[in-house]
Amino acid sequence: MSSGKIGITLTRHLFEEQRLHPAATGELTGILNQIALAAKVVSREVNKAGLAEILGLTGEENVQGEQVRKLDVFANDVFMAAFDHCGHFCIMASEEVEGPILIPEQFAKGHYCIAFDPLDGSSNIDVNVSIGTIFAIHKKITVNSWDGTTADLLQSGDSLVAAGYVIYGSSTMLVMSTGNGVHGFTLDPSVGEFLESHPDIRIPPRGKTYSVNEGNYPYWSEGVRKYVNHVKQADPATGRPYSARYIGSMVADVHRTLLKGGLFMYPADSKDPDKPNGKLRLLYECNPMAYLVEHAGGAASTGRGRIMAIAPTELHQRAPFFAGSPENVRELEEFVARYDG
């Protein structure tokens, strides 16, 4: 029999953070509770995705005659449904939706906007590898209407008020920050609650792991190629060669990097002339992860400067992304400065 202790629930953690800020309205607490709710629903579906495939439930229709959508569309629908009526948002952006998402007329509008990647790492769904959800929250800055505009969504990472991710891994975890440390909560499926499991995550100042899709090597800049050559050279005095770890789900790769240190990279490459800035999207992938990594004592860079300093111009714009232990990020930036001019 267990001791009877419940542990610190996400709700209790949020309530205690709110008490530290007497001016807080509780809206952020409400938002994070909606994220936790949607995450539990997505987690439930992710856990049986393989089963659904085996039983043929992922075809056009299921036994109830309902359309069975792909998991990333399903996740998008779940998060939208958790957000649109809750009264906290004035506008939203999702990786799965081309334009800004307005709050339907019949629902109350709030003072925040959210950009989210409902299912990150979706190429890993079919092979039972960790996937995730990423979210970034700003305060509304436009004043003329209760509705938000694209300008509210195109704020820099430096203006974020909260960000986080959910990882659907060997357990489901929610990792988030409201600017007061980075905290991890693990879903206890038996009671359906996120319980604090990783309070105040701090990234090691230097790590011995590099994480990148090395198949793109020939398409990188000289500075990035030289850096990766460098970390693979044997030099026991400085702990080289580093270990390589690449899952291909940003959430999982950043999660490991936050806990163990090292450098996660998605550099710019010359593979596709339409995507000169690499693959990862600034608003709902790079900025929220940069916010978490910096708040855990790490660094997040384009290779030439802080990710969060970028002034966004488009909802789905991309940025080269290097994040992790601060000493590793500085070293990468030195290679870029030296070889890429």
Task: Tell me whether residue 247 or residue 310 sits nearer to ligand AHG (CB atom).
Answer: 247
Task: Tell me whether residue 76 or residue 177 sits nearer to ligand AHG (CB atom).
Answer: 76
Pick the stretch among 116-124, 217-225, 236-244, 304-312 that binds Mn ion (CB under 5 A).
116-124
Q: How far apart are CA 86 and CA 105, in angstroms?
A: 13
Chain center to CA of 154: 17
Q: How far is CA 46 from CA 70, 74, 82, 175, 193, in A?
A: 11, 10, 17, 18, 17
Is residue 253 part of the contact set for Mn ion (CB under 5 A)?
Answer: no
| Subset of 271-300 contacting ligand AHG (CB under 6 A) | 279
User: Among 142, 156, 213, 317, which residue sits at the site for ligand AHG (rule: CB under 6 A)?
Assistant: 213
Q: How far apart are CA 46 and CA 74, in angstroms?
A: 10
Shortest Cβ distance from residue 116 to ligand AHG (Å)? 10
Shortest Cβ distance from residue 158 to ligand AHG (Å)? 23
Question: Who contacts 298 (Cβ-Cβ below 8 Å, separation ≥6)?
Answer: 203, 257, 258, 323, 324, 325, 326, 329
Tell me the helices (H) and strands (E) count for the chain, helix number first.
Answer: 9, 13
Using CB distances below 5 to 8 A depending on partner kind, what does residue 279 bind out of Mn ion, ligand AHG, none?
ligand AHG
What is the DSSP code (8-state) at residue 235? B
Site string for ligand AHG, 63-102 (x = CB under 6 A): --------------------------------x-------
Shortest Cβ distance from residue 268 to ligand AHG (Å)? 13
Count of C-beta atoms within a 10 Å radius of residue 156: 17
Residues at the site binding Mn ion, with contacts judged by CB under 5 A: 95, 117, 119-120
